[in-house]
Structure 1
């Protein structure tokens, strides 16, 4: 399977005082606000690190669902929070905090599947940083 997805960013003005928008092909994000403030402080809008966290948590969780189902343990519920650490101009760490309700699976098998999902998730493979995962079976 091969496909291409796209998004568009627009920026007006300087890096610090300017403003921008991000729009995705699906229009889930449609001219979402982007600014220095939304990236480095607080404000209404998004930022690249938040978007990476969203992409990574979504990709990892979906990959894990496929792995668990293939192993005979379809998950009832998986929830992943991705925390992206930005430090000195670089993303230095992404931590995936997973909780899952997977009937019939052992904790050992759940941990193993979570580690494998972390390794083979396409977004994990794309990112050049340390990625850690903590998995809690509920």
Structure 2
């Protein structure tokens, strides 16, 4: 059986002076979170689509890594992932890739096995599969 997840966005005004709000009504995690040109391309407090994509990718990858490790007989005591969405501005803003940086503590796993499992998680997490841009990674076993 399938399922759906959703978030909402509202925007008003032009690109540079307009304002918007994003919400996650299903989880209630945030409601009416500010986003604008300056939260996306400047330093104004608020969120932006790329930050939310990075959070989704970091969370998805971490869970996938934990699951694949478990299936290989290893339980991670800690997985920390940072996802960076790499942007270019010319000829217009566009994502060109995502880089995952992961650090994990996994008792009993060799560095070679960890690297193979991390690569499998990178290739198979739902968000990696949904992206049409390259996804790279640096994985460190602690």
Q: TM-score, normalised by structure 1?
A: 0.98
Aligned to 1:93: 97
Shift in Å, 1:92 = 0.4
SS at match of 2:128: helix
User: Is 2:27 the counterpart of 1:23?
Assistant: no
Give CA deviations for 1:26-83 in whole Å, capped at 9, x if unaligned: 1202111101000001111000100000000000010000000111111000000001
Tell me, which stretches of 5 or more residues in structure 1 are unaligned?
none
Shift in Å, 1:2 = 1.2
Which runs of structure 1 show a deviation greater than 3 angstroms over 4 or more consecutive aligned residues? none
SS at match of 1:119: helix
SS at match of 1:95: strand
Aligned length: 138
1:70-81 mapped onto 2 (5 Å cutoff): 70-81=71-82
Q: TM-score, normalised by structure 2?
A: 0.95
Aligned to 1:123: 127
Report the RMSD for the aligned CA atoms in angstroms. 0.8
Give CA deviations for 1:4-44 in whole Å, capped at 9, x if unaligned: 01110001111110111000121202111101000001111
